[in-house]
Amino acid sequence: MSLTPDRPAHGPAIAIAWECISNFTRDDAFTARLVLRNDTQEAIAPGWAIGFNTCRKVVANSVSPGYAIAHLNGDLFRLTAQGSEPWLPGQAHTIDYEALHWAISITDAPLGFYLEPGDGGAPIDLGDPEIAPFARPEQRHRMRGDQLPTADAAWRFEQNTVLSLLPQEAVGRITPRPVSARFDGGSCRLGCNAPLGYARELSNEASLLAAMLGALPGGSAAIQLEIAEVALAGEEAYLLEIDANWVRIAGASAHGVFNGIQSLFQLLSPNGELPTGRVLDAPRFGYRGMMLDVARHFAGVTTVLRLLDCMASYKLNRFHFHLTDDEGWRLAIGALPELTAVGARRGVTRDGEACLPPSFGSGADTDASAGSGFYTAAEFITILRHAHARHIEVIPEFNMPGHARAAVVAMRERQRRLQAAGDVAGAEEYLLSDPEDTSSYESVQLWHDNVICIALPSVDRFIDTVVGEVCMLYREAGVPLRVIHTGGDEVPLGAWLGSPRCRALMEEQGWDVQALHDDFIARCRAILARHGVAFAGWDETALLREGDRMLPNPRFAGPDFHVYCWNNAWGSGQEDCAYRLANAGYDVVLSNAANLYFDLAYAKHPQEPGYYWAGFVGMRKAFDFCPLDVGAMPDLDPMGRLLDGGILQALQPLDGAGRGRVKGLQGQLWGENARSRARLEYLALPRLIALAERAWAADPGWQDVADPQARAALALRDWNEFANRLGQRELPRLDRAPRPWNYRLPPPGAVVQGGLLWANVALPGLAVHYTVDGSDPSVDSPRLAAPAPLHGARVVKLATFDTRGRAGRIVTLNVEQP
């Protein structure tokens, strides 16, 4: 394993290298090797330690002799060396260890290393390791039973062979696909000063349209915006009519007019030309959402506004804003300043100032990464107004009672500060933890202290205060607040059992843990109701545990209790959870992990960022999703095995009333791997567009085709058209944005056969360029339009390019010589 120094701006340089040795150690563990080398000219004093984050829990007794790796909390670990010798210049430490589960990609590697000097000095960030290639079968597969192939060039080539390049006239012009669109071959020319007629209630829409037209040259056609009856149901319906001399957009409401403007903009060429014709359109689902987690990594205001703009352009209308979690609290609450003074800062301080520990590679410096940050009241109001102008409802989430460590720690620090000042009563006012709690548990993200003590009256006071301030911010923004999402997921087993306060309340009321939890949900719901806000939560808020099964809880069913169903991974036993809840009377938003979790990796490849616990979520996974019949498009399980037919047969179908309670779809972009705006956009796009297609466009009817082969052929035909629409129209349109998007360009598929280079791409229309001299390809390299002779070349490099000349991941083929 080679070592390339990763030199920080200040302090000693420690070269760090990491390698997965084998995933075949056991079915539930792998072996890894970490090498650390002192590349300075000075010895490092004895007693040093190395902190780092890893999503794979280290098996404590598996570490090489002479070293120890301790689990501190969450994904934070500390490496120490035994003995009292200094770390000499040039000296390397090689540590082998085992960790749970698997490591098959860059996302599984440890990251965010920092040195804790033995002399008591301040921690020094060291950065991320050099990761050795995942080359051997035991490095590329999760276990011996992993049957899913690596998505290498040959695999992609085979997958892409089912696609074909369509002529532009066969590719839809509007995304999501409208109910009806007819164009007659004529054209219309809009200009930057187009006469614009509209009623006063459409001034917002007119202003947005004028801004869109601002970059156009001159034109002669006029535009009329109006609210009028439309021949399709729903307030979002619209009619777009384009004549040679005028454009008319009629909407059933202002929102409908706004939707029509988005379609108009998609039809508009850079010179202002439009095709003449008529578009009649309305959405399939009323709820079409996108969730962004800013707790794990903070996203600045500009990044959020960009995402809202993109959502609006594809007619998404709900923004689920995941503002809090174990690793961060991101909204300033004036009455509780510790929530951001402590809960919005991650790192290691030496002055006693409280903060959260490093997570997801955020490092020791509290100011140097996206681990820290929050929105001021003014910034949050800016986001609310921006979304509202684009007819996007912002649904804030404050996760509780689990996933709440940032708030718990912040309120514990508040208690400490006020107790030190002699204010004993004030110190207890908003406390979220029982000081005498001895509960033993570990959350999915490896936290041991992330659950609120729900027996404390101060918890209700805390929730009421936060909700009251959030309501005030919405009022100041002039934006309605209809729903607050309270999270409620993944409370670890064992929470509350060691809390004297919880035990006393359960004994007093004759409750078990389920009843204790239900009481908390009822209290949250009542607090929200007093503020005029409806309750929303993840699956678990509407479920109760019976043995190993999770079943609908009849207690909370009703139209003011909104459930977001996420845990549908094949083999989880929860594949039809959303349908069971809808049939039981709950309003449901489908947030299915196996189709709509955009933090999961696009494909099984070592260089593809993202988790994969629910499988790999490529664009087609979102596109193929049948919202009302999840079993209609049979798939492989996460290990690449054919699904057990018994699972599909046991799925509970939606009944008539249940179908009406499925309110829509939502994509989830969890933030563990969204360390930058570029990474966030890569993970979101173009999957967000596939989500929009499935949430807006009419039901394609695949599930109504009884014959599996005919059903698959119909779905493939539709996918081919959509893939061409992305490659030929939508991605080039995103390239023309004033600040173009860092969407994912699918790496090309490629093989060498008979001395010829064959290549294809998952989105027909995108360009593939290649080189045969070992250099990286650019837009000036030959474009591969047909199989190309290699003339004895030993190395071929290829990449997919967008219309700006930006390259995707480079693919290298080593050509075997005859």
* Contact predicate 787/770, CB 8 Å: no
- CA distance to 6, 348, 369, 596, 622, per residue, from 114 (Å): 12, 10, 13, 35, 38
Taking alpha carbons only, the member of 264, 289, 316 closest to residue 733 is 264
- Alpha helices for 364-456 (secondary structure H): 377-389, 405-420, 424-427
CA distance 498 to 436: 8
Residues 6+ apart with CB under 8 A from 745: 766, 799, 800, 801, 802, 806, 807, 808, 809
**Tokens 């597969």 -> residue:** 141
> What values do phi and psi take at 333, rounded to 5?
-120, 110
Could you check whether the bond before residue 176 is cis, i.e. omega within 30 degrees of 0? yes
- CA distance to 483, 659, 686, per residue, from 107 (Å): 34, 38, 20
CA distance 693 to 695: 6
Taking alpha carbons only, the member of 586, 612, 590 closest to residue 601 is 612
| Collapsed DSSP state (helix, strand, coil) of residue 385 | helix
CA distance 431 to 555: 28
Taking alpha carbons only, the member of 809, 780, 685, 810 closest to residue 735 is 685
Which helix (H) or strand (E) segment holds residue 111: the answer is: strand 111-116
**Tokens 């430490």 -> residue:** 93
The alpha carbon of 391 is separated from its chain's Cα centroid by a whole number of angstroms, namely 22
Beta strand pairing status for 246-251 and 222-227?
A: parallel
CA distance 484 to 400: 12
- Amino acid in position 46: P
| Collapsed DSSP state (helix, strand, coil) of residue 414 | helix
Taking alpha carbons only, the member of 597, 460, 487, 466 closest to residue 541 is 487
| Tokens coding 211 | 């801004």
Tell me the DSSP string of 593-611: HHHHBTTB-SSS-TT--SB
Catalytic residue status for 490: yes
| Tokens coding 61 | 């007794």
| Collapsed DSSP state (helix, strand, coil) of residue 442 | coil
- Active-site position among 429, 469, 490, 721: 490
CA distance 330 to 429: 22
> What values do phi and psi take at 250, rounded to 5?
-115, 130
Count the residues in the chain: 818
Tell me which DSSP letter residue 727 carries.
I
- Amino acid in position 678: A
CA distance 426 to 392: 39
**Tokens 């000081």 -> residue:** 435
Residues annotated catalytic, as ranges: 490
